[in-house]
Homo-oligomer: A and B are copies of this chain.
């Protein structure tokens, strides 16, 4: 199950300095890599550690190569982005270990006769696939998942166990939905009549692009009339809530527990720290970075990093500051009074 360095470079690029016939069988961090492993240097501060690595080969950046090569005797693969190279190589080693499920439909799965399941797809135990759903080539649907009517699951997309993917929703190729994710639940839309809420049917879909990852127990609601859209390459961590009619721009990433209220439009290449909360009906442009635990009530029109959480302190200190915070108006009045008094004193002279 090893791979020759020559083949690795053919697959993933990089300049090989050393013997192409050397075979490596796993990827490991610098301090643990043994003589059959390949390792990587993604942080120049660790050059010294890399230089002493026992790894058969190292993936590293051009800027680090000279210093490391001075003492390190293994092979080197020089590449501008060693961390991304590591990620791709690690994916290769995991896939090579095997364990991918066999194509076919488990006998306990309930697949409607009008659903189209590609013969190369895998449908696990206790799965339900409703009428008209389409499961494309290489897709893997683990046990306990639910696929609604006319939903579409793209090529090589993987649903972990117990995912719920509702009617007419769509996901592209190479997606990953983790367990407990619920895609296409009804959006939270009501008319108020005489103090009671009247449900507005939610008839839009959730439409997800390619290479989308959705974390465990994350929820994405279907649109009211239009669709909720998750663009290509979006990565959502666990426990996230995306409201109806949102649009999340391509290659935007959100850490766990983020909430995005309905109809928010988020740009591309944004990042959101954990538990950031985004108001509904606002727009955030591309390349905006929101710090964890920050509430964003209004649109953001300029790229950059934005923050807004109360600084933590020892409880007693926080209490003092909290009281003063509530008395800022008084402080301002006192400053005004002082300014007036000074002015009067100065004039008197």
A interface residue numbers (CB < 8 A to B): 28-29, 81, 83-84, 86-88, 90-91, 93-94, 99, 106, 108, 110, 124-126, 128, 142-144, 146, 148-149, 160-162, 164, 166, 176, 178-180, 182, 185-186, 188, 190-193, 195-201, 203, 211, 213, 215-217, 219, 221, 225, 233, 235, 237-239, 241, 243, 251, 253, 255-257, 259, 261, 269, 274-275, 277, 279, 290-297, 304-315, 317-322, 324-326, 328-329, 331-332, 334-335, 338-339, 341-342, 345-346, 348-349
In the complex, what distance in Å separates the CA atom of A120 from the CA atom of B84?
Answer: 48
In the complex, what distance in Å separates the CA atom of A132 from the CA atom of B328?
Answer: 60
Looking at the complex, which one of B110, B192, B306, B335 makes contact with A108 (CB distance below 8 Å)? B110
Looking at the complex, which one of B195, B200, B255, B306 makes contact with A313 (CB distance below 8 Å)? B306
Question: Which chain B positions have C-beta within 8 A of A257?
Answer: 241, 257, 259, 277
CB distance from A145 to the nearest CB of B (A): 8
Question: Which chain B positions have C-beta within 8 A of A314?
Answer: 304-307
> Which 7 A/B pairs are nearest by Cβ-Cβ distance?
A308-B312, A84-B193, A293-B295, A324-B328, A185-B216, A146-B161, A87-B191
Question: Which chain B positions have C-beta within 8 A of A148?
Answer: 161
Looking at the complex, which one of B99, B279, B291 makes contact with A292 (CB distance below 8 Å)? B279
